[in-house]
Amino acid sequence: MNVVSNTLDTQAREIMRGNDRGTYTVPTDGLYPYQWNWDSAFAALGFATFDLDRAWVELETLFTGQWSNGMVPHIIFHEASDGYFPGPDVWGTTHTPPTSGISQPPVAASFTRAVFEKNPESGRAHLAALFPKLLASHRWFFEHRNEDGMIVVNHPWESGRDNAPEWDEAMENIDISRVGDYKRNDLGHVDPHMRPQKTDYDRFMAIVYAGRDCEWDEAEMTANGPFRVADPGMTFILLRANRDLLALADVLGEDGGEIRGWITAIEAGVEKLWNPAIGAYDALNVRTGEFAGSVSSASFLCWYAGIDDHRMLTAFDRVIKATTFSMPSHDPESARFEPFRYWRGPVWGIINTLLAMGLKDMGHAAQAEKLREDTAALISKSGFAEYFNPQDGSPAGGMDFTWTAAIWLAWASPTIKTEGS
């Protein structure tokens, strides 16, 4: 096993080096040719296992995309590439470097803390420079994505879980009459049955055009944007991120009062995402007040947020028994489960990492270890794929993927010390 693991460790580092564009890392060559927000935060976690300076550079480059209102966009278009749709001209934002107009799950503060704790002495100056930017990004979430302590997304892409079934109902009503023709590039890289469908993309584009039309005005999108859904994933991830940011504030001797207020507010918001009808945390369409009725891998991020909810252990036990490899991104017993299609069923190593971090923190070591073993088995069997079929473990999406290599190095590999995982 060790020989195999060592070989995979070497491969993982090679993948990260291969996707390294100097100051930022692309998720994978071809399919995603720019810097993506949470992909980069995961890359920093991976780099921190073998090149701590490079880990800081990754985070610092991410924040060169930050807007003056505090938002860290989900894509930063550092260099021109015609290989991706929708590119910078479609988003029509005015930032330099060009960016998209929405954000992505804010794992940056949590992973900044992890990178910092690798070597607090050498990391202190980096941390001091990043802290106000992280704080501004969390303030942006609280000002523009907060509905009563629940964190909402204005676009499924913002959740990072693009075509998850929890968006289906809210997406159905989006007007696509003005979308017109466009050419997707993703289908030239990945088998269409592993990607979102055209019906999804039409709606993804309708929301992008609505944002562009109002010049990405947050107040306008909050009031009238086509999509506004409270997401357990975002809510739990931001709650954890605030706890980690507070720990960093303490290290720097900064006042943590504002952050404490956010923590209290989101803890109250979490309660509103509990859907008794499915016995799980669920997405909630704030325009209609309707739950999505969807048990997803994001429902289980409660532990990552520091909430030890034993009701979710019951759901966890049921879901992990339903597929060979865990954690499927959508409930395998649901009619909407599709084992190969992106966020409608496949296992994602990055989500397993977050789930296991939370489970371990909350004293559920056996469940955390099950996820680590499954992730290691999937990567050993199928390589560093973007995601995996939970039934037979086959690879899906892009290959040689940065974040899969990163979480192998930081958490899944049997050769590493796992005290931080």
The rounded distance, in Å, linking the Cα atoms of 188 and 311 is: 43
Kindly state the number of chain residues that form the binding site for ligand DGY, as judged by CB under 6 A: 4
- Report which residue's Cβ sits closest to ligand DGY: 157
| Least distance between ligand DGY and beta carbon 100 (Å) | 8
Residue 74 tokens, joined: 């989900």
The token pair that represents 293 in the structure block:
């009725």
**Measured from the CB atom, is 93 or 242 closer to ligand DGY?**
93
Distance of CA 188 to the CA centre of its chain: 24
Give the other-Cβ count within 10 Å of 238's Cβ: 29
Residue whose CB is less far from ligand DGY, 104 or 323: 104
- Closer residue to ligand DGY in complex, CB, 35/413: 35
CB of 229 to ligand DGY, least distance (A): 16
The 8-class DSSP code of residue 408 comes to I
**H or E stretch at 260:** helix 257-271
Interaction mask 35-74, ligand DGY, x per CB under 6 A = ---------------------------------------x
Angle of helix 37-47 versus helix 52-62 axis, rounded to 10? 170
Q: Quick one: 162 or 218, whose CB is closer to ligand DGY?
A: 162
Minimum distance, C-beta of residue 377 to ligand DGY, in the bound complex (Å): 25
Are 31 and 190 within 8 A, CB to CB?
yes
73-112 footprint of ligand DGY as x/- string (CB under 6 A): -x--------------------------------------
Query: Which member of 29, 58, 158, 162 is catalytic?
Result: 162
Please identify, using beta-carbon distances, which residue of 181 and 419 lies nearer to ligand DGY.
181
Coil, helix or strand for 48? coil
Question: Which residues ranging from 165 to 204 are in contact with ligand DGY (CB under 6 A)?
Answer: 186
| Candidate residues 63, 77, 111, 157; the one interacting with ligand DGY per rule CB under 6 A | 157
Nearer to ligand DGY, 158 or 244 (CB): 158
Active-site annotation holds for 374:
no
419: which 2 tokens? Answer: 């005290």
162 near ligand DGY, rule: CB under 6 A: yes
**Catalytic: 386?**
yes
Give strand pairing partners of 358: none
- Strands (E) in 92-159, as ranges, are 146-147, 150-153
Give min distance, CB of 396 to ligand DGY, in A: 13
Catalytic pick from 231, 309, 374, 386? 386
Angle formed by the axes of helices 108-118 and 232-252, nearest 10°:
40
Burial (CB count <10 Å: 0-12, 13-18, 19+), residue 215: exposed
- Residue 416 CB, shortest distance to ligand DGY, in Å, is 28
What is the nearest approach in angstroms of ligand DGY to the Cβ of residue 87? 11
Residue 135 tokens read as 């704080």
CA–CA dist 243, 255 (Å, integer): 14
Q: Does 161 bind ligand DGY (CB under 6 A)?
A: no
Burial class (CB in 10 A: 0-12, 13-18, 19+), 231: buried
Strand partners, 290: 285
Residues that bind ligand DGY (CB under 6 A): 74, 157, 162, 186
Catalytic residue numbers, as ranges: 162, 386
